[in-house]
Each structure stands twice: as structure tokens, then as C-alpha cells.
């Protein structure tokens, strides 16, 4: 089945009844490699590993006396799992805890681990913490490329904008100007993008133009980051590469995909826009 057919069957863009009693069937998985298969690329051929970090700011349930408990949660779904989880379905699933009673936070975490692991078809990590323990804001280290005075002509992905110079470098670059759109509703998804690489220097003007070229592109967060990784990997041929997007939250969730040629994991760096 093509991705367009799959996402039209998802909760995205449809009127949905909000269920407030525990219901793991709300989760809607989508195969991670469906786009790559349509391009004739097998998962085993992809040169990256990684993780998708989800932060939930609206997790709540009832204790056994009916009193609400409120928590924040961090979920890690690894890029070697079979599926991503469609974001609205994730939100509906978390809402289903709202009027359900649980013996303890440990029981809630166990349910989350089991349900998300089944839907993702792979490893999942879950951390639950009290609102008073929320992580402090941080920022990307490295050089922000946004202050360049560039003329923009492309608002759909244009990998031909990526070029290299002559010097060999090892550097971290980042931009606050990444914007893509939900592939169904067209709602904007805003993000800060970090790129860490070693190899022949990537020309910064072309890189900024390339990042901005996603402005009218419709795709899931995870797929945008994988496409960015692959475009840089193929056109600039770095020796090592990591791409990390920190997306602004929507519906009480933010999604932060990380893809790397060297590592599958990364710190959960909360930025000021999150």
C-alpha cells in the first residue's frame, strides 16, 4: 500500500471522538520504510541509525481513589523499529488515560512500554517525570547559519543546492528556519535543525537555501530528517554525519528525530521554542 493510501486512513484530518478511558487501539502505526521502498531502496542499504524522541506534556491518569495524577513523559522510538506512530493517534492514545484508574506510575509506564512497543514493532524507552522535574531549556552548540543574506527561489526540496568547498573540516551547523507541513492537514511544522559532520566543507549558503526549500514540503517529521540526511550524505559525501531536528510541539507532543552514521542515540535537548 502506498503512503498516501495509508495516511488517508489514519486519524489525521478526520473528525475523531476523543476517548478518555484506556484504549491502546488508538495507536496508528505507519511503516518506516514505505517511502524508501517506493524509491527502490531497502532498509539494509540506509547508512544511518537513530532515534525519534517524543516529549509529552499532557499525560494524566487517575489514582485508585479517582484523584488525577499529572506527569510529563519522554518516549524514545528507535529507527530500526518497523513503524513510526502517527502523531494524532499518539495524542488520542495518551488522552485515553485521562479517566482510567491505575495502581501506580509504574503500572502506567508498563502499559506505555507494552503498547508503544507493539505499535512500533521495536524497542521503546519510556521515562515519566513530575512537572517540577521538567528539563531546563538549552541550545544547539556550533554555528548558526541563519544570518546569511540569501535570495530564495525554492520552497520544495532542492538537493542540487547542496555543494562543497575544498577544505576538510569537522563542525556543527544549525538553523532555526526549517519548516515542513503535515502531509494530510497542511498544518505547519516548525523546527530547529542541527547538522554535525566531518569531511569536505559544506557551503553554508547552499545549505541554508536547501533547508529553507522544505518550507512547502509535506511529510512526517521522521521522513523529512531522513531525506535531509540522505541528500547531504549523497551529494556532499561527508566522512561522518548526524542530523537532529527539534520540532515545536503540537497537540501536547513534540517529535525530535535524530539520524546519524555514527550513533543511534542523542541527548533530549529541549530548546526555547519547545
In the chain, % of residues over pLDDT 70:
95
| Other CB atoms within 10 Å distance of the CB of residue 237 | 11
- For 3-133, which CATH class? alpha beta
Please identify which of the residues 23, 132, 144, 189 carries the catalytic annotation. 189
Selection from 122, 131, 197 nearest residue 165 by Cα: 197
Q: How crowded is the C-beta side of 181, counted as CA atoms within 13 Å?
A: 15
**Residue-range domain boundaries for the chain:** 3-133, 143-260
Please identify which of the residues 80, 125, 149, 182 carries the catalytic annotation. 182
Say what the pLDDT of residue 4 is.
55
Q: Do domains 3-133 and 143-260 have the same CATH topology?
A: yes
**Any idea of the CA torsion for 26, 28, 29, 34, to the nearest 10 degrees?**
180
CATH number of 143-260: 3.30.1130.10
- Mean pLDDT along residues 173-197: 96
Say what the pLDDT of residue 44 is.
83
**Any idea of the CA torsion for 113, 24, 85, 114, to the nearest 10 degrees?**
20
Q: What distance in Å separates the CA atoms of residue 183 and residue 40, rounded to the nearest whole number? A: 21
Tell me the whole-structure pTM to 2 decimals.
0.93
Is 182 designated active site? yes
Say what the pLDDT of residue 256 is.
98
Question: What integer best gives the mean pLDDT of the chain?
Answer: 94
Is there a contact between 231 and 159 (Cβ–Cβ < 8 Å)? Answer: yes
Q: What distance in Å separates the CA atoms of residue 198 and residue 201, rounded to the nearest whole number? A: 8
197: confidence class by pLDDT, cuts 50, 70, 90: very high
Dump strand ranges (E) for the chain: 29-31, 49-62, 68-78, 83-85, 124-129, 143-144, 164-181, 188-202, 240-247, 253-260
Q: Sort strands 143-144 and 164-181 into parallel, antiparallel or unpaired.
A: parallel
Is 115 designated active site? no
Say what the pLDDT of residue 5 is.
54
pLDDT beyond 70 at 3:
no
142: confidence class by pLDDT, cuts 50, 70, 90: very high
- Mean pLDDT along residues 180-200: 96
Q: How crowded is the C-beta side of 81, counted as CA atoms within 13 Å?
A: 23
Amino acid at each position: 500500500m502506498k503512503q498516501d493510501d495509508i495516511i488517508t486512513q489514519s486519524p489525521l484530518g478526520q473528525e475523531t471522538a476523543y476517548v478518555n478511558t484506556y484504549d491502546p487501539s488508538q495507536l496508528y502505526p505507519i511503516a518506516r520504510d514505505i517511502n524508501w521502498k517506493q524509491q527502490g531502496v531497502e532498509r539494509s542499504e540506509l547508512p544511518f541509525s537513530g532515534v525519534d524522541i517524543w516529549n509529552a506534556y499532557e499525560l494524566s491518569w487517575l489514582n485508585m481513589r479517582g484523584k488525577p495524577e499529572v506527569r510529563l513523559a519522554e518516549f524514545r522510538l528507535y529507527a530500526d523499529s518497523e513503524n513510526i506512530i502517527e502523531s494524532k493517534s499518539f495524542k488520542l492514545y495518551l488522552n485515553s488515560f485521562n479517566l482510567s484508574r491505575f495502581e501506580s506510575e509504574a503500572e502506567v509506564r508498563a502499559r506505555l512500554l507494552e503498547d508503544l512497543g507493539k505499535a512500533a514493532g521495536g524497542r521503546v524507552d519510556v521515562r515519566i517525570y513530575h512537572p517540577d522535574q521538567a528539563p531546563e531549556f538549552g541550545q544547539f552548540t556550533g554555528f548558526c547559519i541563519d544570518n546569511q543574506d540569501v535570495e530564495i527561489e525554492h520552497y520544495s526540496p532542492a538537493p542540487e543546492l547542496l555543494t562543497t568547498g575544498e577544505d576538510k573540516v569537522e563542525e556543527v551547523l544549525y538553523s532555526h528556519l526549517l519548516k515542513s507541513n503535515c502531509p494530510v492537514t497542511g498544518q505547519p511544522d516548525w523546527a530547529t535543525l542541527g547538522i554535525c559532520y566531518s569531511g569536505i566543507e559544506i557551503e553554508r549558503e547552499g545549505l541554508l537555501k536547501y533547508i529553507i526549500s522544505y518550507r512547502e514540503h509535506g511529510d512526517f517529521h521522521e521522513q523529512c530528517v531522513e531525506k535531509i540526511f540522505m541528500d547531504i550524505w549523497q551529494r556532499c559525501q561527508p566522512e561522518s554525519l548526524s542530523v537532529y531536528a527539534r520540532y515545536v510541539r503540537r497537540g501536547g507532543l513534540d517529535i525530535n528525530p535524530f539520524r546519524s552514521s555514527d550513533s543511534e542515540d542523542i541527548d533530549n535537548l529541549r530548546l526555547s521554542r519547545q
